[in-house]
Structure 1
Amino acid sequence: MSDLVDPHPQTHVYETEEPVRYEVDGAVAHIVMNRPTYHNAQNNQMTYALDDAFRRAVDDDAIRAIVLRGEGKHFSAGHDIGTPGRDLGASWDRRHLVADHVNKPAAELLYTREHEVYLGMCRRWRDISKPTIAAVQGACIAGGLMLAWVCDLIVATDDAFFQDPVGRMGIPGVEYFAHGFELPPRVAKEFILLGERMPAARAYNFGMVNRLSTRDTLLADVKAIADELAGRDRLGNWLTKQALNHVEDLRGKRTAMDAVFHMHHFAHAQSNLVNTNNLGGMDAKSMAAANKQQAEKP
């Protein structure tokens, strides 16, 4: 979900200098989100660290496959809208052909930032020339979906769940809008309109998840797949990714995502005009309470 505008942009306090760990296991790189205290909520610090880690894995010819995973109880609770490290107002010098957002007024600030760190980065990660696997445990919510969806394969534990609750904010889904490609259209509508948790088993039935695992076996199951991919022909893996990504784009994935990104930011602008913030008047505390209440329904 998108960030609440920070009235004190310079007051963020990072709980760690290492929001992402980079580990190597043979020919496989493990990129590990490392904010377990906040369920791997994604601030700028983490997002740019992820970008650096993916680039490091791509640049190393000895690496033949990449695993993305999250430290702790959950894969990712989504975009950071409520921790001390929420750093919407921070400027970063590693941008990719996008202007800095911090000196932009009103809706232009969010539009500029999210074009870079959400839509732009996710598209780059999707097109990485090496096969990628998301190892998902626990919550994969909103912005967490984007990180899992850009990977070629998803392995999820039996207690994992997927959720995009940003409809409560008046927003039509997260910025990397792959919903209608990951799920059948009517199911995607349910997923966004109701914002309910989708258990991993149901996601598996729709083909959004490739393999089901357990917390005890997740790393071993992912290792087996990653090692198999790492042993395959490097160019063959890349060409296979390109071929199937091209099929998705021919079906309209990129153009649909462009259109919905603009709808997303129209929703933010509308919220700023009629609510107390650009998230439909919601904040981290109210969103967490609403999600908990919904999860407790029979």
Structure 2
Amino acid sequence: MTDVLQSESRDGVLLLTLNRPEARNAVNSALREALAAAMHEFATDDAHRVAIVTGAGDRAFCAGADLKEMARRSTGRPPMDYFAEFGPDDFIEKPVITAVNGAAFAGGFRLAQFGDLCLASETASFAISEAKWSRGAPWAAPLTRMLPRRVLAELLLTAQPISARRAYEVGLVNEVVSAADLLPRAWEVARTIADNAPLSVKAFKWLMRVGAEAGVGATSAIATEIFRPVYDSEDAREGPRAFREGRRPKWQGR
């Protein structure tokens, strides 16, 4: 990988670590390009079924975009790919876990939000701080469905951080664990997902996406087509066969 982004691969799980701890893992051009390239590779690489994204050090997961770099370049409205766009509408078909080990502010909040699951250390905090610096956050649109209106208003209008525990209480975080347990727990959850049938996992990601954008009736109708490749696959026969034979399934992804 690169100096600003470290990677580790284990049993079908890819760990990506933002590695600019001296800058609170703020995303500059080099990190943005490296992270976008790594996520695009993950999305198309059959060797990895789940990705974990975390930050180096114990102060920050990610402080967002590097404002010092933006000031030097007089960046006004950032281009569409400024903050490591991972795909159309930031959607990829494989699960991503964000392991938030400290402050997740502004674009760092956006990155934490990108995870299908979000685990946080007890010292983590979350803020949409753009209003403090006259910046925008169009990426916050999905939060209009994820959070109650007044919780969202608190985050957007005050630009003040909330604790990991409060983030858990309002549904932004799946689990809060000690700093020492954060990565081990992330690996454990990732392995649990990676052991599941990849076609089913992919279809469930599409189901969640469609469900967030359509009504229940439309989602139910579309779900039949979403799961058709799952039912027609070799894996659909392997699952019951493995259950009958008392062994772990050997997924082919087809």
Number of corresponding residues: 213
How many percent identity over aligned positions? Answer: 28
CA contact (8 A) 1:31 1:54 kept: no
Secondary structure of 1:55's partner? Answer: helix
Deviation at 1:239, TM superposition (A): 0.9
Q: What is the aligned partner in structure 2 of residue 129 from structure 1? A: 93
Tell me if 1:38 matches 2:1: no
CA contact (8 A) 1:24 1:30 kept: yes
Deviation at 1:195, TM superposition (A): 1.4
Q: What is the aligned partner in structure 2 of residue 176 from structure 1? A: 139
Secondary structure of 2:104's partner? Answer: strand
Structure with more relative contact order (C-alpha pairs < 8 Å, separation 6 or more): 1
Q: What is the aligned partner in structure 2 of residue 76 from structure 1? A: 62
Deviation at 1:87, TM superposition (A): 6.4
CA contact (8 A) 2:7 2:14 kept: yes
CA–CA separation in structure 2 for the residues paired with 1:165 and 1:127? 24
Q: What is the aligned partner in structure 2 of residue 248 from structure 1? A: 212
Alignment of 1:106-255 (within 5 A): 110-111=76-77, 113-118=78-83, 121-122=85-86, 124=88, 126-171=90-135, 173-177=136-140, 178-250=142-214
Deviation at 1:89, TM superposition (A): 7.8
Secondary structure of 1:133's partner? Answer: strand
CA–CA separation in structure 1 for the residues paired with 2:156 and 2:94? 31
Q: Counterpart of 1:77 in structure 2: which amino acid?
A: A
Q: What is the aligned partner in structure 2 of residue 54 from structure 1? A: 39
Q: Counterpart of 2:138 in structure 1: which amino acid?
A: E
Say if 1:236 and 1:115 are closer, same or farther in 2 by CA, change over 3 A.
same
Say if 1:62 and 1:163 are closer, same or farther in 2 by CA, change over 3 A.
same
Tell me if 1:19 matches 2:11: no
CA contact (8 A) 2:36 2:86 kept: no
Deviation at 1:88, TM superposition (A): 7.7
Unpaired runs of 5+ in structure 2? 216-254
1:191-223 per-residue CA deviation (whole Å, 9 max, x = no partner) reads: 111111110111111111011111110011111
1:163-217 per-residue CA deviation (whole Å, 9 max, x = no partner) reads: 112212344x523123323321111111111111110111111111011111110
CA–CA separation in structure 1 for the residues paired with 2:57 and 2:107? 17
Unpaired runs of 5+ in structure 1? 1-16, 91-105, 252-298
Deviation at 1:124, TM superposition (A): 4.0
CA contact (8 A) 2:5 2:19 kept: yes
Deviation at 1:60, TM superposition (A): 2.0
CA–CA separation in structure 2 for the residues paired with 1:128 and 1:180? 21
Give me the TM-score of the superposition, normalised by structure 1.
0.66
Q: What is the aligned partner in structure 2 of residue 291 from structure 1? A: none
CA–CA separation in structure 1 for the residues paired with 2:99 and 2:89? 16
1:81-106 per-residue CA deviation (whole Å, 9 max, x = no partner) reads: 12xxx26888xxxxxxxxxxxxxxx9
